[in-house]
Structure 1
Amino acid sequence: MPAERRKRLLATVHRVIRTDPSRVAPTQALPVIDDTVSAKILDLAMRVGDAMFAVGASAHEVTFAITRITDAYHLHGVQVDVTYNSITASHHRGDDDARPITLLRVVRAASPDHAKLQRLQALTVEIVEGLELDAARAAFREIRRTPFLYRPSVVVLSRALLAVGVALMFDASPIIVLLSFVAALCAALAQAGLARLRVPSFFSQIAGAFVTTIVALVVAALGTAGIEPFVDIRPSIIVASGIVLMLAGLTVVGAAQDAIDGFALTAGGRILDLTLQTIGVVLGILIGLEFARVLGFGITTPIDAIPFGPLPVQLGGAAIVAIAVALFNGAGLRTIVVSAVLGLIAIVGYDGMLRLGVHESAASAVGALLASFAGTLVAHRFHVPSVAVTTAAIVPLVPGLSVFRGLLGLMQSDGTADALLVGIGPLISAAAIGIALAAGASLGLYLGTPVRATLTSVTRSRARVRR
């Protein structure tokens, strides 16, 4: 082989294996932003992220929003760290003499407000599309001052309405539906009063569960005494409705999403908070049952789990539950409608899996997966927060009755292995369903995100072709 040909062959192999520095595009000059403007950009991004985190956004969504805002104003390379109750952002321009700008914000309160979250997401989009910095800061101040969408009385009534939806899903009689509403209303009023007194939510959960249990025990005592119309009714449904009410506001989806996204501290904090709130519900029920035992009356432990009613009844109850959850989370009309539809999708998927002989926990995961996947696809199109509609859709599948059956079985056990299994079995089943709901909802979010991006890209391509 001639020497010249060997050189060309070696040069070709070299180009295939290694990059050619001469072919790399030169680094573009970044716009020079002074410290004052940089601080304003970081401050705006941090405030938007703080507000989003406080009203229910995940750590990943907050991080993404902050970096989108800073990149939109040509402040690139910002490092963001989100933990359970604080957000830190730092920017270093890379010059040896330039000092980094670092800001820290503490998230002092976390209360879902999905209407405000929707407006914050819309503001982020406007900033990316070219909204000026001063106009963005003014728009954020307006959003921050926006009060909660509904009055406290509407929030309390919507929480009581949730119990009605749960009772309907069990195909309960009208008297049980009414009693479930009364018990949930009393619990919601008790929790609202404690919230005004700034009592920690852990004790508020105990109080709400205790009130619900006492109402159910009173109903059971009246039925045992032969007083109409309380004879032959199932007070366990009343407590189950109250348990779903107590657990409806927990950030199960957010905690699972943060754990999968790699935000270990945030996920750990949310999981610990979720665990404490659940323990509060358990303690409230146990205190109520012990109080009734001391007074000499109680509730008979159901031998078998009470199944949901016919599919049309389930759909009606699930829609009411989803609407109620959206209401007390401060959602607007569009989000409420989407939440109701996704709640129906979750029940259809759940019921379909049960008809195929799938275990209840796996069926719950499939229902949550379908609702979450569909919610991710429609959330961007209808300009609603995906976390809002997903949370509302999976609440009808929360295993309130299994929790109560397990606790009641443990309280009334005689210490033998068989008696303990009567209580432990339903609790294990409830835990499995809870994990399945979180996993299914998180998986739906992750499967739906790339599909949504692909559909959006195809839609834009077709629009460009038409033009």
Structure 2
Amino acid sequence: MATERRFRILNSVGRVIRTDPDKVALTEAYTVLTDTIVVKILDLAMRIGESMFAVGASAHDVTFAIIRVARVYGLTGVHVDVTFSAVSVSYHRGEDDWPTTLIRVVRAASPDHAKLQRLQALVVDITDGMDLDEARLAFRIIRRTPFLYRPIVVLFARALLAVGVAILYGASPIIIGLSFLAALAAAFTQAGLARLQVPLFFSQIAGGFVITAVTAVVAALGHAEVAPFVDVQPSIIVASGIVLMLSGLTVVGAAQDAIDGFALTAGGRILDLTMQTLGVVLGILIGLEAARIFGVSIPLPTDAIPFGSLVAQVGGAIIIAVAVALFNGAGMRIILVSAFLSTIAILGYSATIALGVQPPGASAIGALLASFIGILTARGVHVPSVAVTTAAIVPLVPGTAVFRGLLGIVDSDGTAEGMLDGVGPLVLAASIGIGLAAGASLGLYLGTPLRATLASVSKSRARLRR
């Protein structure tokens, strides 16, 4: 036993000094890189990267995947350029040869986290020794895999998110039901406009208008003292709709690209995020103005609507995370991890608020905890970290602050004091959004080196058991 232990220690010391040829992956770099082989390798690497980018990966992850695949098959020094709408890959073998450059235009990003999970698994398989032709075939199978859920499931999942937001705020059963119906109407409206190929900006306007119209009807029925609608909080309906329509925005991806140095990609994503947010704002403003013309007034909350009890917060956060994971095409494993991380985020937020920290800072802490634990958990359960992080921070999106600000601007009648009352909540909402993006990005960067260290320790222990 002592001899065996001494032998293991000597092996560990030897691995520190030199590499072990037997541990090298079986994938062999092509000794003769003909033009055909180079194009095949670059085409596979670029298509994998382009597909990852189209389903929600960051520019850094896309660049790393492309370089990693190309290096496995013998192409070193590959140049990759990722912009908001295109991916280009270039390889120059030497001074006497022409460079080989491939470019692919990236279609509009549409999150599909199950496909992203399979693409990341394919990159790992390639690194572990998959043949080039076999890898090309595996990629074609993944690329043609349809979205995991039927459209009707996606629509009801979007409406379920509004239910989670209403529960998060401790709403009454009638408000929860109305939030579900309003969100479902907005989801069907946006789905119909998508089939007509209406730009997303106008689709966001239509969705915001539908949500506000339902809220105005509820407020009118409450003023008329119709039994089920008396003493209800219609503001929660709009807040739920705002979270619904902002839940698909790539806040974390845009912040991560900006920090990684992909300024052009980050700028494109931020502009896209801004336009979609402005669409929601315009839709709500149009709805509020139309309600005012018809003599319907929605009561302006004097203070921010607080979250409900801790049980309601956790239950609402879990429902929101599950709904986000569903309409982003996530599998059961991603759904379960998202639900767990959303609980971590909301508990971290509530604990920080209890300590007297303001909502922007508390939101950043909640997002930081969720993303940090998420990136450590993601490796062990083989899920994309961006998928679970996105679903976890959606419960902290400032829906009520946005609505209070917009309603204050509409009720201001152009006076400076009234405008300031409306601008204040909007500034708070923007601060919370920045806090979420910064906290989530910081958590990813703090967790990445620790995850690498844990991975190396696991590999070392696995070798010692042999």
Tell me the equivalent position of 2:66.
66
The whole-number CA distance in structure 1 between the counterparts of 2:393 and 2:159 is 18
Deviations 1:415-467 (A, max 9, x none): 33332221111000000000000000000000000010011111111222222
1:197-216 → structure 2 map (5 Å cutoff): 197-216=196-215
Once the 2 structures are TM-superposed, how far is the Cα of residue 294 of structure 1 from its aligned partner? 1.1
Tell me the equivalent position of 2:169.
170
The whole-number CA distance in structure 2 between the counterparts of 1:347 and 1:201 is 30
Are the counterparts in 1 of residues 52 and 119 from structure 2 also a CA contact under 8 Å? yes
Tell me the equivalent position of 1:412.
411
Once the 2 structures are TM-superposed, how far is the Cα of residue 396 of structure 1 from its aligned partner? 0.1
The whole-number CA distance in structure 1 between the counterparts of 2:174 and 2:83 is 46
Q: Check if 1:391 corresponds to 2:390.
A: yes
Amino acid in structure 2 at the alignment position of 1:267: A
Amino acid in structure 2 at the alignment position of 1:51: S
Are the counterparts in 1 of residues 84 and 265 from structure 2 also a CA contact under 8 Å? yes
Once the 2 structures are TM-superposed, how far is the Cα of residue 97 of structure 1 from its aligned partner? 1.9
SS at match of 2:373: helix
The whole-number CA distance in structure 2 between the counterparts of 1:380 and 1:37 is 32
The whole-number CA distance in structure 1 between the counterparts of 2:78 and 2:310 is 51
1:264-343 → structure 2 map (5 Å cutoff): 264-343=263-342
* TM-score of the superposed pair, with normalisation by structure 2: 0.93
Once the 2 structures are TM-superposed, how far is the Cα of residue 109 of structure 1 from its aligned partner? 2.4
Stretches of structure 1 lacking an aligned partner (at least 5 in a row): 1-28
Q: Check if 1:77 corresponds to 2:77.
A: yes
SS at match of 1:88: strand
Tell me the equivalent position of 1:11.
none
Tell me the equivalent position of 1:146.
145
SS at match of 2:335: helix
Tell me the equivalent position of 1:127.
126
The whole-number CA distance in structure 2 between the counterparts of 1:445 and 1:399 is 22
Tell me the equivalent position of 2:223.
224
Once the 2 structures are TM-superposed, how far is the Cα of residue 30 of structure 1 from its aligned partner? 8.7
The whole-number CA distance in structure 2 between the counterparts of 1:426 and 1:444 is 27
Tell me the equivalent position of 1:98.
97
Deviations 1:262-307 (A, max 9, x none): 0000000000000000000000000001111111112011111110
Q: Check if 1:375 corresponds to 2:359.
A: no
Once the 2 structures are TM-superposed, how far is the Cα of residue 101 of structure 1 from its aligned partner? 0.5
Tell me the equivalent position of 1:241.
240
The percent identity for this pair of structures is: 71
Tell me the equivalent position of 1:54.
54
The whole-number CA distance in structure 1 between the counterparts of 2:108 and 2:150 is 19
CA pair 150-30 structure 1, distance change in 2 beyond 3 A: closer
Amino acid in structure 2 at the alignment position of 1:238: I
SS at match of 1:243: helix
Amino acid in structure 1 at the alignment position of 2:178: L
The whole-number CA distance in structure 2 between the counterparts of 1:404 and 1:60 is 35
Amino acid in structure 2 at the alignment position of 1:68: R
Are the counterparts in 1 of residues 375 and 444 from structure 2 also a CA contact under 8 Å? yes
Are the counterparts in 1 of residues 349 and 366 from structure 2 also a CA contact under 8 Å? yes
SS at match of 1:438: helix
The whole-number CA distance in structure 2 between the counterparts of 1:226 and 1:89 is 65
Deviations 1:363-408 (A, max 9, x none): 0000000000000001111110100000000000000000000000
Tell me the equivalent position of 2:5.
none
Are the counterparts in 1 of residues 158 and 184 from structure 2 also a CA contact under 8 Å? yes
SS at match of 2:87: strand
The whole-number CA distance in structure 2 between the counterparts of 1:406 and 1:330 is 33
Once the 2 structures are TM-superposed, how far is the Cα of residue 189 of structure 1 from its aligned partner? 0.3
Tell me the equivalent position of 2:42.
42
Tell me the equivalent position of 1:137.
136
Amino acid in structure 2 at the alignment position of 1:170: Y
* TM-score of the superposed pair, with normalisation by structure 1: 0.93
Are the counterparts in 1 of residues 30 and 73 from structure 2 also a CA contact under 8 Å? no
Tell me the equivalent position of 1:189.
188
Deviations 1:135-180 (A, max 9, x none): 0000011001100000000000000000000000100000000000
Once the 2 structures are TM-superposed, how far is the Cα of residue 32 of structure 1 from its aligned partner? 3.0
Give every structure 1 segment of 4 or more consecutive aligned residues whose post-TM-superposition deviation is greater than 2 Å.
Answer: 29-32, 414-418
Tell me the equivalent position of 1:365.
364
Tell me the equivalent position of 2:17.
none
Are the counterparts in 1 of residues 182 and 211 from structure 2 also a CA contact under 8 Å? yes
Root-mean-square deviation (CA), in Å?
Answer: 1.0
SS at match of 2:229: coil
The whole-number CA distance in structure 1 between the counterparts of 2:195 and 2:414 is 42
Are the counterparts in 1 of residues 41 and 70 from structure 2 also a CA contact under 8 Å? yes
The whole-number CA distance in structure 2 between the counterparts of 1:78 and 1:306 is 52
The whole-number CA distance in structure 2 between the counterparts of 1:423 and 1:326 is 33
Q: Check if 1:459 corresponds to 2:458.
A: yes
Once the 2 structures are TM-superposed, how far is the Cα of residue 108 of structure 1 from its aligned partner? 1.7
Report the number of matched residues. Answer: 438
The whole-number CA distance in structure 1 between the counterparts of 2:396 and 2:260 is 24
The whole-number CA distance in structure 2 between the counterparts of 1:413 and 1:161 is 33
The whole-number CA distance in structure 2 between the counterparts of 1:309 and 1:452 is 35
